[in-house]
């Protein structure tokens, strides 16, 4: 287990570094979008290349940060239902869903993207828009993004199993909220006899 946990920590460090740094691509995308809009309105000038650059940057940030989002446990979940379950049940659901759903999906997209990207690079594929950019840099982000997501899924499976067997504490649990807020969250799914929320 110690070797697996070391692997998990290494994967976490890589995705933490990437996730924190690609956030700047969103700022770049917003600035390019604003600049493009200003030039279009003020000077009646526009460029498909600049439009595509902002799409590329946004798509890259989204794809490369997906693994970081999973690591931070910030992905969308149905909290109302989740909070009605015991901690151990939630851990088992996370572990099973990572193995049965997330991992096969990520591996499938990664696998299917390989010939798609290879063909784009080999052919020198260019956007069909006038003045558009080459496409393979954007397409290869799909492969890299899902590759990182596969690695992070492996890390999450290792950590979730280690948590279930008590080898490590769960660092994603909320510890810094006031006790009354934690109690309110924990009791969100309970209803008292009068039909109000349980206290």
The per-residue DSSP string of 102-147 comes to IHHHHHHHHHHHHHHHHHHHHHT-B-SSTTPPBSHHHHHHHHHHHH
d(CA 49, CA 46): 9
The confidence score (pLDDT) of residue 188 equals 52
With beta carbons less than 8 A apart as the criterion, state whether 25 and 61 touch. yes
pLDDT at 118: 94
CB neighbour class for 26 (10 Å; exposed up to 12, middle 13-18, buried from 19): middle
Q: What is the pLDDT of residue 180?
A: 55
Supply the pTM of this predicted model. 0.76
Mean pLDDT over the full length of the chain: 82
Higher pLDDT, residue 194 or 117: 117
Q: What percent of the chain has pLDDT over 90?
A: 36
pLDDT, tens digit, 9 for 90 and up, residues 3-42:
888 999 999 999 999 999 998 888 888 888 888 888 777 8
How wide is the angle at C-alpha 111 spanned by C-alphas 110 and 116, nearest 5°?
90
């Amino acid at each position: 287990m110690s070797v697996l946990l070391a692997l998990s920590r290494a994967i976490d460090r890589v995705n933490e570094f990437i996730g924190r740094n690609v956030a700047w691509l969103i700022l770049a995308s917003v600035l390019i979008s604003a600049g493009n809009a200003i030039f279009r309105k003020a000077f009646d000038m526009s460029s498909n290349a600049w439009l595509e650059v902002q799409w590329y940057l946004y798509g890259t940030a989204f794809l490369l940060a997906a693994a970081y989002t999973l690591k931070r446990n910030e992905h969308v979940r149905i909290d109302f239902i989740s909070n009605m379950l015991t901690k151990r049940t939630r851990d088992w659901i996370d572990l099973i869903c990572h193995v049965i759903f997330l991992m096969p999906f990520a591996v499938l997209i990664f696998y299917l993207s390989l010939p798609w990207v290879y063909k784009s690079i080999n052919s020198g594929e260019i956007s069909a828009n006038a003045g558009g950019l080459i496409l393979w840099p954007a397409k290869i982000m799909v492969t890299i993004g899902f590759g990182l997501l596969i690695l992070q899924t492996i890390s999450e499976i290792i950590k979730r199993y280690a948590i279930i067997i008590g080898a490590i504490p769960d660092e994603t649990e909320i510890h810094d909220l006031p006790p009354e807020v934690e109690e309110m969250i924990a009791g969100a799914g309970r209803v008292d006899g009068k039909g109000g929320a349980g206290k």
